[in-house]
Structure 1
Amino acid sequence: MSGFLELEIYQLAERLANAVCNAVSSWENFHKYSLGQQMVRSADSIGANIAEGYGRHSLADQARFVVIARGSLYETMHWYRLGCDRQLWEGEEQRALQEMLDELAPRLNAYLRSFHRRMAQAKQVR
């Protein structure tokens, strides 16, 4: 029933969301409630959309939710960059977040391509 939990891409999204939340929770209130809450929401949304798409029946619906997850990832990247510009990250957490963001982007794109390939194959079978 919860096969999405086995997806490496979901696990990475979950690690990213938890790392963002942990980092933001230590910020001063102004940054926490302006940039921080936005970034936590967008990071949380990545895994949530992967999970929701996994539960959909059609490949097109599943792919649509991966596209939404990718949009949330790009939004998270935006907030991350602003945090860098405002010097809100500690050295190690900044490096770890950057590595997760760098890894997740191509993996989400590959995951999306897998749906497109399967939809193309399904059209050929018809």
Structure 2
Amino acid sequence: MARKRFQELQVYQLSEQLADDIWKIVDGWSFFAKDTIGKQIVRSADSIGANIAEGVGRGSFQDNRRFIKIARGSFNETQHWLRRAYTRNLLTTE
């Protein structure tokens, strides 16, 4: 069975979409919000897809699994920053 390229993985595509959506939202924030929460949330969201891609590129199941766990950690971090941004009225439910 042939391996999928990481770009074809649905989870990778969703991570790209999430990171791009977050970037667009943060881009409209004030300097203070961008410099504090904004940088953190953009980095953690970008890290999700980057770790998925790196894991696939490592070639072994064990390495891939390790990087998927790191991606999951970045996803949890992104959720944390989204909650902080919402609580601080930088985001709405829309």
Bucket of the pairwise TM-score, normalised by the shorter protein: over 0.9
Report deviation, 1:59: 0.3
Cross-structure match for 1:77: 79
1:23-102 alignment, distance < 5 Å: 23-92=25-94
The root-mean-square deviation of aligned C-alpha atoms, in Å, is: 1.1
Mapped partners of 1:34, 1:49: distance in 2: 23
Q: TM-score, normalised by structure 2?
A: 0.93
Query: How many pairs does the alignment contain?
Result: 91
Q: Which structure has the greater CA radius of gyration?
A: 1
Which structure's residues are more often helix, by fraction?
A: 1
Report deviation, 1:45: 0.1
Mapped partners of 2:81, 2:33: distance in 1: 11
SS at match of 1:55: helix
Q: TM-score, normalised by structure 1?
A: 0.70
Cross-structure match for 1:120: none
AA partner of residue 29 (structure 1): F
Mapped partners of 2:93, 2:59: distance in 1: 43
AA partner of residue 36 (structure 2): S
Per-residue CA deviations over 1:19-64 (Å, capped at 9, x if unaligned) read 0000000000000110000000000000000000011121000000
Report deviation, 1:91: 4.2
Mapped partners of 1:19, 1:28: distance in 2: 17
